[in-house]
Amino acid sequence: MSEPAISIRDLQVALPAWSDRKLAVAGVSLDIAPGEILCIVGESGSGKSMMGKAILGLLPAPHVRAVGGQVHFEGRDLLTLSEDALRAVRGRRIAMIFQEPMTALNPLMPVGRQIEEVLEIHTDLAPAQRRARVLDLIRDVHLPDPERMIASYPHQLSGGQRQRIVIAMALALEPGLIIADEPTTALDVTTQAQILHLIKELQRAHGTAVLFITHDFGVVAEIADRVAVMRHGEVVEQGAAADVLGAPQADYTKALVAAVPGLKPRLREPADGTPPLLRVVDLEKTYRISSGLFGGAVREVKAAKKVSLELKRGSSLALVGESGSGKTTLARCIIGLESVESGLIELDGERISGRSRAELRPHRKNIQMVFQDPYASLNPRQRVGDIVALGPMLNGVGREEAIAQARELLRLVGLKPDAVERYPHEFSGGQRQRIGIARALAVKPKLIVADEPVSALDVSVQKQVLELLNDLRKSFGLSMLFITHDLRVAATVCEEIAIMQRGEIVERGATADIFAAPSHPYTRSLFDAVPGRAWISGLG
């Protein structure tokens, strides 16, 4: 093996005194060969991001800082370099790609100028040469119409285009190492697939070493040459991608791999011929964005165009789409958080669309919602017991009894009954999502609308929550409308799928049928974009 591009030895990063553990990174040793992609996989809190930041001296000092070990890069130990020397290394020799391209770019500067700035600081190219190089870079990352592109501002570009610009910036000086911290997590699946492809292509062409930090084993399968699995600041397993993914050795890796939702479609239970529980007919919803002080020019966004769907009693339907497809708007209309423009929503034969908030109140207990963000969906100033008991109390159940029911529900979702006395911040993300589920169940609804309930959770926690939802569906006889961007999750949970694109349902049917033969081109592109598809299918 040739000289590694970067060699990390026994790196230790200390956390502030009040944290729950002393070291964010506890003695990690890694080598990355030139032209190699090393994926660091781990769940939140594993220290994977801290390690990436430690290499570039970007830790939030003085509270978090590297306290031991060496990072050898091009003959120097980066940890001992002065701030000035480190600045010369950053950007020029080691570049970073961040998770959120919108915040990584300056919103007030054309993107071409931002790339040029990198060249201006680190090289002595003439203005004309710099401009030519910028255009080259834009072409390298396959952005259309480079001349127009360099004059655009970040907000005029899509998320994928912005991430391409960030990648172009990272490549501008032909660095020896690129650190990519979850670069595709904020992107849609199809865009993610393109960006992964691009990173791989450019890395091959330039022979750059890449340290790729991610939480998603699918992404790892897609891009990695070698993999290091991190947990609690330590590397529990590392090796060639095929070995780690195909035959994991450490128990933790095995558990993580097992938690990756497979692409095995769930089968439809035999229909019993009863009328559908939820019926949506020709639903339309348009958002009008007025610009200007007096509401002059109005921009219209059609969030739902003639959407129709049916959900049978006791079954579950996944609404799959990318961001902006209108899936969340549709859910909010059904739950009554958003008024519909035209069309009909019927629950159990009763019309619930077009009613005022007061008229809707008696119907609320029939539909409940599980929200996406377990951190935002619980009131931080209320005890968990009061949060769960709110619904029943509003429906006339006495406080004592409602709290007793809350205890029982919390036990059902796998929490200790004494949770009723505690505040939400004392719980982890997965536990909070369980509380959210208990709240939704508290009023014994007929239908649960779950809006991306697991997308904010780590993969192992995600699996537990999905299993919980599954068990509860059986024991409560629940019907569920499950909104997700992730086909893998949809396949695990739902026996029927509706695919949404730009406010329209483009394909609808049994999960098994759609997985066997997707008919719409958009559905097919979604399938092709599932990261690590070949590997996941192989898992069985």
Partner 1 sequence: MKTFTSRFLGNPRVYLGLIWLGSLLFVALTADFLAPVDPFAIVGRPMSNPSAAFPLGTDSLGRDVLAGLLHGTRATLLIAVLATLAAVAFGTFVGAVAGYYGRLIDDALMRFTEFFQTIPSFLFAIVLIAVLSPSAANVVIAIATVSWPPIARVVRGEVLTVKSREFVQAAVVAGQGDAAILLKQILPNTLSPLIVTGSLLVATAILVESALSFLGLGAPDVMSWGFMIGAGRSFMREAWWLVTVPGIAILLTVLAINMIGEGLNDALNPRLADL
Candidate residues 47, 218, 391, 430; the one interacting with partner 1 per rule CB under 8 A: 391
Query: Does 289 participate in binding partner 1 (rule CB under 8 A)?
Result: no
What does the alpha-carbon distance between residue 460 and residue 45 come to, in Å, rounded to a whole number? 13
d(CA 145, CA 129): 19
Per rule CB under 8 A, is residue 368 in the interface with partner 1? yes
What's the rounded Cα separation, in Å, for the pair 94 and 90? 5
Closer to partner 1 by Cβ: residue 151 or 337: 337
> Nearest Cα to 209, choosing from 6, 40, 42, 29?
6
Which residues face 229 on adjacent strands? 41, 237
121 binds partner 1 (CB under 8 A): no
To partner 1, the closest distance from the beta carbon of 62 in angstroms equals: 10
Whether residue 538 contacts residue 522, with contact meaning beta carbons closer than 8 Å, is answered with no
Judged by CB under 8 A, the chain residues 441 through 480 that form the site for partner 1 are 443
Torsion of CA 80, 82, 87, 90, to 10 degrees: 0
Q: Interface with partner 1 includes 422 (CB under 8 A)?
A: no
Binding mask 4-33 toward partner 1 (x if CB under 8 A, else -) reads: --------------x---------------
Sole residue written with tokens 């406080």: 399
Nearer to partner 1, 16 or 246 (CB): 16
CB of 381 to partner 1, least distance (A): 4
Tell the smallest beta-carbon distance from residue 346 to partner 1 (Å).
18
Ranges of beta strands (E only) in 321-443 are: 342-347, 350-351, 367-370
- Out of 99, 238, 253, 377, point to the residue binding partner 1 (CB under 8 A): 377
- Is 409 a binder of partner 1 (CB under 8 A)? no
Which residues, including other chains, have CB under 8 Å from residue 473's CB and lie 6 or more apart? 314, 316, 480
Least Å distance, CB 4 to partner 1, is: 35
CA 91, CA 58: separation in Å to the nearest integer?
A: 13
Query: How far apart are the C-alpha atoms of 110 and 126, rounded to whole Å?
Result: 19
| Residue 183 near partner 1 by CB under 8 A | no
Q: x/- contact string, 32-71, with partner 1 (CB under 8 A)? A: ----------------------------x--x--------
* Centroid of chain to Cα 538: 23
Which range in 27-35, 117-125, 126-134, 359-367 contacts partner 1 by CB under 8 A? Answer: 359-367
Alpha carbon distance 41, 426 (integer Å): 26
Q: By CB under 8 A, what part of segment 321-350 binds partner 1?
A: 335-337
Token match 């029982």: residue? 408
> By the criterion CB under 8 A, which residues form the site for partner 1?
18, 60, 63, 335-337, 357, 361-362, 364-365, 367-369, 371-373, 376-382, 387, 390-391, 394-395, 436, 439, 443
